[in-house]
Amino acid sequence: MNYNVNDKGYYGEFGGAYIPEMLYPNVEELRQNYLKIIKDDSFQKEFEQLLKEYVGRPTPLYYAKRFSEKYKTKVYLKREDLCHTGAHKVNNTIGQILMAKRLNKTRIIAETGAGQHGVATATVCALMGLECIVYMGEIDIKRQAPNVARMKMLGAKVIPATSGSKTLKDATNEAIRDWINNPTNTHYIIGSVVGPHPYPDMVARFQSVISREIKWQLLEKEGRDQPNYVVACVGGGSNAAGAFYAYLNQPEVGLIAVEAAGKGIHSGESAATSVLGKMGIIHGSKTLLMQTHDGQITEPYSISAGLDYPGVGPLHAHLYTSGRGEFISITDAAAMQAGLELCQLEGIIPAIESSHALAIFKDRKFKKEDVVVVNLSGRGDKDLATYIEYFNLK
Amino acid sequence: MNRITQRLSENKKILSIYFTAGYPNLGDTIPILKELEKSGVDMVEIGLPFSDPLADGPTIQASSTKALQNGMTTALLFEQLKEVRKSISIPLILMGYFNPVLQYGVEAFCAKCSEIGIDGLILPDLPLAEFTNEYQPIFKKHHLINMFLITPQTSTERIRQIDAISEGFIYMVSSSSTTGKLDGFGSLQTSYFKRIAKMQLQHPQIVGFGINNATTFSMATQHTKGAIIGSAFIKMLTQQGVGGISKFTATIR
């Protein structure tokens, strides 16, 4: 089986472009041009140079010795937390801003939940001198004040999404509405492998630098370019898509996607989309999503703002239903403990999103000789307030 | 003949009204329909509320949120409409986003519409390609007409494709915008209306988005078959309720 997108924009039965006609010309323009632009030598050269000199790639593949000893297996951390702006998100925004320039767009819009993608977008817009508008749920603006300040310092205009539940899904709706109202000069930088085709594929390609680096870095360290497992957290799923990408069609490499169980899968406060979701349409994509019996999209919950998206990218929906991916749900409590443990064992403060991926080792046992790569998607600076409150560190 | 095609064949400009089912009150669906028919409205679009209405501006969004809070569901709407054809004879179209239809089951949804006497559907986020690949036979089987949208950005080639597959009217979105955004038409709209009129399409066009009074109605219908009022009608309902309907429609034409 092939796990990449097909020529109609589908991963198995998931994907497509379920968009109102008002968006068709924008999305179609992108669909017709994205592969051509990405494959162009000048694009590749500029993209790679920025990833190297601006983002700070390649990010290290670090052998976590004490963590490995504790869990009796070989754990490598892919240090996306060391990227400029603090997470893998910038790999995608660099790619998309170069795409936007080649499509002659002068105005950039984005959605953001916790603010990481908003900051990464504001950063590349400042870098390229383009106008930047970021939609953010009114509730998230209150919860994530430091990232709102960062975006403003970087010159972005932050517009509160006041509709619906006033969080990420509504910010995404507002960004899409903006795009409908500005059909010619605007590029929408989606932050994850979600949305109408070609976004899931385009974002996965920009994030695929993660697994391309893992391959050669692992070859240097272990003499083979395949780990036994790659582990990554999944909200929409962009860091997981990037970490899995080079291994999608290599069944001998296990792909482990870690979702947020929140307060427990069946607590009513969870974001474990693969378990709780049903096939439907969200933000232009046919995928698994959390919804009522009647097809109304529901609001997910996780302590980590980057994982509380009610859907999941169509690639991941396909990995789940086909059995290619192993999906594990981790509660808030387990993630927080795992985050603290990494601080103490390795001197690395992870983002709470990434802590979910680290938390699987407690129950998911690996063989001693297994090589397990965990994508450490972001750093924990943004989460200090949550860590402080949770562990009462005042 | 389907009530929509019948109405389109008549020699008159069509006034169509959109409202969100379950708004302002859960039980308003039938009273609104009766009042609209009594006021001489030619066709109605009944909105199935959705949690995430991407193509809609604040007015219709708010009406959807309120309708859902009131308890509106697909099943309840069908229940309310069960005997609608005993009292209403104008064409009825259900308009909504695709996800609630998908969850109800496309086949079951279409069957139910047909049983009730719904004449057509408008599902803005069900794209042309998916419709023709997967769902067209189901719609045909249940004698439901699916209406497609075009916008000022839609290419000539795609408009021809849409015209070829259409059966009722072509929903002509007046501007590149969400609903309720425009306040009056300018030269952009009139040249767009004229451009499409010149294409001599097989199917009549009905303009939606931006029609809110007699002036915009008359401008929109000068080169087309009719016009749809949505946000402006919802605003009126918010202020005056069902009792304001006949006065409102009297100001349009």
Which residues of chain A lie closer than 8 angstroms to B100, CB-CB?
A: 294-296
Model confidence pLDDT, tens digit, residues A304-337: 988 989 999 999 999 999 999 999 999 999 999 9
The answer to whether residues A250 and A133 belong to one domain is no
CA distance A343 to chain B (A): 40
Q: What is the DSSP string of chain B?
A: --HHHHHHHSSS-EEEEEEETT-SSGGGHHHHHHHHHHTT--EEEEE---S--TT--HHHHHHHHHHHHHT--HHHHHHHTTTHHHH--S-EEEE--HHHHHHH-HHHHHHHHHHHT--EEE-TTS-HHHIIIIIHHHHHHTT-EEE-EE-TTS-HHHHHHHHHH-SS-EEEESSSS-TT---S--HHHHHHHHHHHHT--SS-EEEESS--SHHHHHHHHHSSSEEEE-HHHHHHHHHH-GGGHHHHHHHH-
Domain end point (choices A202, A229, A250): A202
Would you call A294 and B75 a contact, using CB atoms and an 8 Å cutoff?
yes
User: What is the C-alpha separation between A149 and B45, in angstroms, rounded?
Assistant: 44
The 10 Å Cβ neighbour count of residue A72 is 12
Q: Is residue A11 part of a domain?
A: no
How far apart are the two ends of chain A, measured CA to CA in Å? 52
The answer to whether residues A245 and A98 belong to one domain is no
**Which residues are CB-contacts of A390 (< 8 A; sequence separation ≥ 6)?**
A303, A336
Interface test with B, best of A18, A32, A178 (most B CBs within 10 A): A18
The answer to whether residues A74 and A220 belong to one domain is yes
**Which residues are CB-contacts of A17 (< 8 A; sequence separation ≥ 6)?**
A9, A27, A31, A196, A197, A284, A285, B127
Model confidence pLDDT, tens digit, residues B193-222: 999 999 999 999 999 999 999 999 999 999
Q: Please report the pLDDT score of residue A166 as a whole number.
A: 86
Model confidence pLDDT, tens digit, residues B228-247: 999 999 999 999 999 999 99
Averaged over A62-87, what is the pLDDT?
A: 98
pLDDT of residue B1 exceeding 80: no
How far apart are the two ends of chain B, measured CA to CA in Å? 27
CATH of the domain at A314: 3.40.50.1100
Q: Please report the pLDDT score of residue A172 as a whole number.
A: 96
Pairs of CB atoms within 8 A across A/B = 113
Q: Is residue A131 part of a domain?
A: yes
Which residues of chain B lie closer than 8 angstroms to A295, CB-CB?
A: 50, 74, 99-104
Closest CA to B129 of B168, B153, B174, B165: B165
> Measured between CB atoms, does B188 come within 8 Å of chain A?
no
> Measured between CB atoms, does B34 come within 8 Å of chain A?
no
Would you call B101 and A294 a contact, using CB atoms and an 8 Å cutoff?
no
Domain end point (choices A162, A184, A202): A202
Would you call A22 and B68 a contact, using CB atoms and an 8 Å cutoff?
no
Model confidence pLDDT, tens digit, residues A4-29: 999 999 999 999 999 999 999 999 99
Q: pLDDT above 70 covers what percent of chain A?
A: 100
Complex ipTM value: 0.95
Q: pLDDT above 70 covers what percent of chain B?
A: 100
The answer to whether residues A191 and A236 belong to one domain is no
Under DSSP, the state recorded for A61 is E
pLDDT of residue B183 exceeding 80: no
CA distance B171 to chain A (A): 10
Q: Please report the pLDDT score of residue A56 as a whole number.
A: 98
> Measured between CB atoms, does B72 come within 8 Å of chain A?
no
CA distance A276 to chain B (A): 15
Chain A (215-254) residues lying within 8 Å, Cβ to Cβ, of chain B: none
pLDDT of residue B180 exceeding 90: no
Closest CA to A238 of A313, A182, A167: A313
CA distance A177 to chain B (A): 6
pLDDT band at A96 (very low <50, low <70, confident <90, very high): very high
Under DSSP, the state recorded for A258 is E
Model confidence pLDDT, tens digit, residues A204-231: 999 999 999 999 999 999 999 999 999 9
Closest CA to B33 of B43, A49, A325, A22: B43
Question: How distant is the alpha carbon of residue B133 from its chain centre?
Answer: 23
Domain end point (choices A147, A176, A202): A202
Average per-residue pLDDT for chain A? 96
Which residues of chain A lie closer than 8 angstroms to B176, CB-CB?
A: 22, 180-183
pLDDT band at A165 (very low <50, low <70, confident <90, very high): confident
Q: Is residue A6 part of a domain?
A: no
User: What is the C-alpha separation between B198 and B183, in angstroms, rounded?
Assistant: 25
Q: Where in the sequence is the domain holding A236, given as residue range(s)?
A: 56-86+208-390
Averaged over B56-71, what is the pLDDT?
A: 96
> Measured between CB atoms, does B65 come within 8 Å of chain A?
yes
Q: Is residue A307 part of a domain?
A: yes
Count structural domains, chain A: 2
CB-nearest to A280 from B74, B75, B99 is B99
- Kindly list the catalytic residues of A: 89, 111, 377
Instruction: Return the CATH fold of B13-247.
Output: TIM Barrel (3.20.20)
User: What is the C-alpha separation between B21 and B41, in angstroms, rounded?
Assistant: 17
The answer to whether residues A43 and A175 belong to one domain is yes
pLDDT band at B181 (very low <50, low <70, confident <90, very high): confident
Averaged over A124-128, what is the pLDDT?
A: 98
Would you call B103 and A284 a contact, using CB atoms and an 8 Å cutoff?
no
The 10 Å Cβ neighbour count of residue A328 is 21
